[in-house]
Structure 1
Amino acid sequence: MLLTIDSGNTNVVFAVYDGEDQRAVWRASSDPRRTADEYAVWLSQLMALKDLTLKDVTGVIIANVVPAARFSLRKLCTLYFDYEPLFIGAPEVDLGIQNLIDRPESAGADRLVNAVAAHHLYGGPAIVIDFGTATNFDIVDGDGNYIGGVLAPAAQHSVEALYRVAAQLPRVSIERPEKVIGKDTVPAMQSGVFWGYVGLIEGLTSRIKKEFGQDMRVIGTGGLAPIYAAATDAIDDVDQDLTLRGLVLVYGHNTAEKA
């Protein structure tokens, strides 16, 4: 079975796949200080709950955007799974697409994997909106190549910024308010962050399509994708496992080449 690891700035996600079928998925908060031994203890206990063991893993692929976490994740794989993991972005790992931005080495591993998955699963051209630590708009051309994108602050960070800089504003949750015009502070803040980001989504996708010159399929992923997709027609599909599915595709592409 394949272990996929999506190591982001906020969370690290582990998922076990049997072919294209997801057997289990677990999330932990990202902490580059966490050791390989800590990962192994935590992961082995969770795997046992799904009738899986560390020995069931026969390959590992990792998308990591936290450089300080790389050492522990690699040691986890070599020490406890006895496998050298494939790292997205490593020279020997072929994505099966071209990275056409000005500085290819600057593209986040998760953004590249999302491009692979979007093209393979939904066709192209496409826009992937990833509601993660940042709100990423990633552009995939009709051939599946990654050609650039837009980075915006995450909605939850905007809420936190308001709370920190304004003494009289509370910390609020991100929810869809019934009305745009808030009659009190909390609903007014919720409206700003919710409907404001709907406006961001609609405005940017429209401008991207106009600049690109073609209609494009828009795929949302990440924790907040479902609630925003329900409020706008700008998002065509929601795929919470897009990054993980992309990792499965890249692993299959690379191992098939060696077979």
Structure 2
Amino acid sequence: MLLAVNSGNTNVSFAVFEGETFKGKWRISKNVHRTADEYAVWLTQLMGLRALTPDKIDGAIIASVVPEALFSLKTLVTEHFHCKPLIIGDGESLGIKAAVDRPEQAGADRLVNSFAAHQRYGGPLIIVDFGTATTFDVVDDEGSYAGGAIAPGINLSLEALYMAAAKLPSIAIQRPPSVIGKSTVPCMQSGVFWGYVGLIEGLVARIRAEYGAPMKVIATGGLAPLFYGATDVIELVDEDLTLRGLASLYAANRNAERS
């Protein structure tokens, strides 16, 4: 079985695969001071609820956009699961193509998403990832990551609004029933939610015009379902795109080693 780890700016996600089948997935908030032993206690207990034990793991792959968290995650895999992980962006050639000016600066999650989306949906396409930042990733016909755009994540925008305006409360993001709010909270929800819909539609339209060809739009990330249906631009939601991409990438590299 494979242990796939995706370390983002807000959460660290873990998944166990048997082939392409999820056997379990879990998420914990990011803490760069968390040790490998702390990860192990938490993760192995959750795995145990699904009758999964560390000795069943015979491979691992890690993608991280947080360099400070990588050491503990690598130690977790080597010491508690007794295997050497593949590391996205660790100098290994894993078959991910990046047609950008500075490939070494491309986020590991963006590279994995590009690989996974092209494998699953073809190309060209745009991946909208609703995370700490909202990213728009362009994948060309050949499956290369071809650049994109980065915008502040919706929760970051809400937090900035709350912190900077003395009379505005902290609110949860949700789709408001109408665009015109009649009190402070609905007004904030409308501005943030429909403002982000405008951001999505505007950037997708500009990317398509600049690329010069029809492009599918795939959404992923925790807030993707919230925006699906609010705009015709988003054609499909794949919440597990990154984790599935890690599993596919691991399998592709292992097959290449055997051939």
- TM norm. shorter chain > 0.5: yes
Any conservation in 2 of the 1:65–1:109 contact (CA below 8 Å)?
Answer: yes
Please state how far the C-alpha of 1:79 moved relative to its aligned partner.
Answer: 0.5
Q: Is 1:27 matched up with 2:27?
A: yes
Quote the residue 1:229 is aligned against: 228
- Residue 230 of structure 1: how far off its partner (Å): 1.8
SS at match of 2:97: coil
Per the TM alignment, residue 89 of structure 1 is displaced from its structure 2 partner at its CA by 1.2
**Overall identity of the aligned pairs, in %:** 59
Give me the whole-angstrom Cα distance separating, in 2, the residues matched to 1:9 and 1:123.
28
C-alpha displacement at 1:193, in angstroms? 0.4
Separation in structure 2 between the aligned mates of residue 43 and residue 155 of structure 1, nearest angstrom: 29
The answer to whether the 8 A contact 1:182-1:188 is kept is: yes
Q: What RMSD in Å do the two structures reach over aligned CA positions? A: 0.7
User: Paired residue for 2:101?
Assistant: 102
Give how far 1:237 is off: 0.6
1:55-204 alignment, distance < 5 Å: 55-95=55-95, 97-204=96-203
Contact persistence 1:180–1:191 (CA under 8 A): yes
Name the TM-score, length of structure 2 as normaliser. Answer: 0.98
**Paired positions, count:** 258
Aligned structure 1 segments of 4 or more residues deviating by more than 2 angstroms: 90-93
* Deviation at residue 90 of structure 1 after TM alignment: 2.3
Task: Give the gaps of 5 or more residues in structure 2.
Answer: none
**Distance across 1 between alignment mates of 2:131 and 2:151:** 10
Secondary structure of the residue that 1:244 maps to in structure 2?
helix
Q: CA deviation at 1:94?
A: 1.4
Q: Structure 1: which amino acid aligns with 2:218?
A: I
Amino acid at match of 1:62: I
1:215 is aligned to 214
Deviation at 1:143, TM superposition (A): 0.7
* Alpha-carbon distance between aligned partners in 1 of 2:99 and 2:149, rounded to the nearest angstrom: 15
| Paired residues of 1:163 and 1:170 also in contact (CA < 8 A) | yes
Q: How far apart are 1:204 and its partner, in Å?
A: 0.5
The CA distance in 1 between the partners of 2:251 and 2:17, in whole Å, is 12
| Structure 1: gaps (5+ residues) | none
SS of 2:220's equivalent in the other structure is: strand
Distance 1:258 1:157 in 2: 42
Please report the TM-score for the alignment, with normalisation by the length of structure 1: 0.98
SS of residue matched to 2:186: helix
